Structure formats: structure tokens, C-alpha cells
């Protein structure tokens, strides 16, 4: 399964160790349907509130196995509803590939916009 990471899971990030043993595919960018916010020491990716308010977020695409996907679900607190795993739309060469990402599900009101990268 391909996973798009955009923050602390990227190479050099505080949580990158959870991708140990997985295959880095390439750097990638989303289509311009998303926003990235600084929540604290970590970012939150959300769908833009309006199509013309999104930006192309920079990140990395990783090929991960099912066991690692389970670990990432725990790290991203999917069970608590903090993040949700869902499909994300990327630009070429990943525009015809199924890729997932972790989307923040909390309120971003008052959070700093982080532009197009973490």
C-alpha cells in the first residue's frame, strides 16, 4: 500500500522510525485540494474548505506492508478519531496510483497555516 507522508513521518522527522524497513518510493505532491496546518509539534492535513483555497502539499510516498500500516494507524491515533486514513489525490507520476494519507479530523480554527510543506 502506498502512503503519502507530509510531516513527522518523513525522512528526518520525529516519527520516521515507524517506517523502518519500508520502501521509499519518491517525493510527491498533492493536487491543490488540501491545506496543511501546524497543530503543535506536528502538522495536520485537511481538505480545503473551497476548491480555490487549496495548495499542493509536498511529501513523500512510501510503500508499506500491512503490519506497518497498523503501526501507523496507532501512531496517528486513528482509533481515537484524531486522524483518519483515506485516499489522497497526487500529481503525476502518482495520479493513477491508489495512495492513502492520514487526514486530521479536529478543528483547525486558530491553527497556523503551514503553507505547502512541513
Look at residue 70 and tell me if it is in a domain.
yes
Counting the structural domains of the chain, the total is 1
What confidence tier does 51 reach under pLDDT thresholds 50, 70, 90? confident
Q: Is 76 a catalytic residue?
A: yes
Taking CA atoms, 58 is separated from 45, 48, 61, 63, 77, in Å, by: 11, 15, 10, 17, 22
Catalytic residue among 17, 60, 76, 98: 76
Look at residue 116 and tell me if it is in a domain.
no
Look at residue 114 and tell me if it is in a domain.
no
Look at residue 115 and tell me if it is in a domain.
no
Look at residue 15 and tell me if it is in a domain.
yes
User: What is the DSSP pairing of strand 23-29 with strand 34-38?
Assistant: unpaired
Q: CATH number of the domain at 32, please.
A: 3.10.490.10
Give residue-wise pLDDT tens across range 72-89: 999 999 999 999 999 999
> Can you tell me whether residue 55 is helix, strand or coil?
strand
> Can you tell me whether residue 75 is helix, strand or coil?
helix
Determine the structural domain holding residue 32 and report its residue range: 2-109
Q: How far apart are CA 33 and CA 24, in angstroms?
A: 24
Q: Is the pLDDT of residue 91 over 90?
A: yes
Amino acid at each position: 500500500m502506498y502512503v503519502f507522508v507530509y510531516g513527522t513521518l518523513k525522512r528526518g522527522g520525529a516519527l520516521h522510525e515507524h517506517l523502518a524497513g519500508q520502501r521509499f518510493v519518491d517525493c510527491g505532491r498533492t493536487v491543490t485540494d488540501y491545506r496543511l496546518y501546524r497543530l503543535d509539534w506536528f502538522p495536520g492535513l485537511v481538505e480545503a474548505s473551497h476548491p480555490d483555497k487549496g495548495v499542493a502539499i509536498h511529501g513523500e510516498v512510501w510503500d508499506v506492508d500491512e503490519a506497518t500500516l497498523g503501526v501507523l494507524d496507532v501512531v496517528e491515533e486513528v482509533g481515537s478519531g484524531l486522524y483518519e486514513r483515506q485516499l489522497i489525490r497526487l500529481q503525476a507520476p502518482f495520479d493513477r496510483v491508489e495512495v492513502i494519507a492520514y487526514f486530521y479530523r479536529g478543528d483547525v480554527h486558530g491553527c497556523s497555516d503551514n503553507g505547502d510543506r512541513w
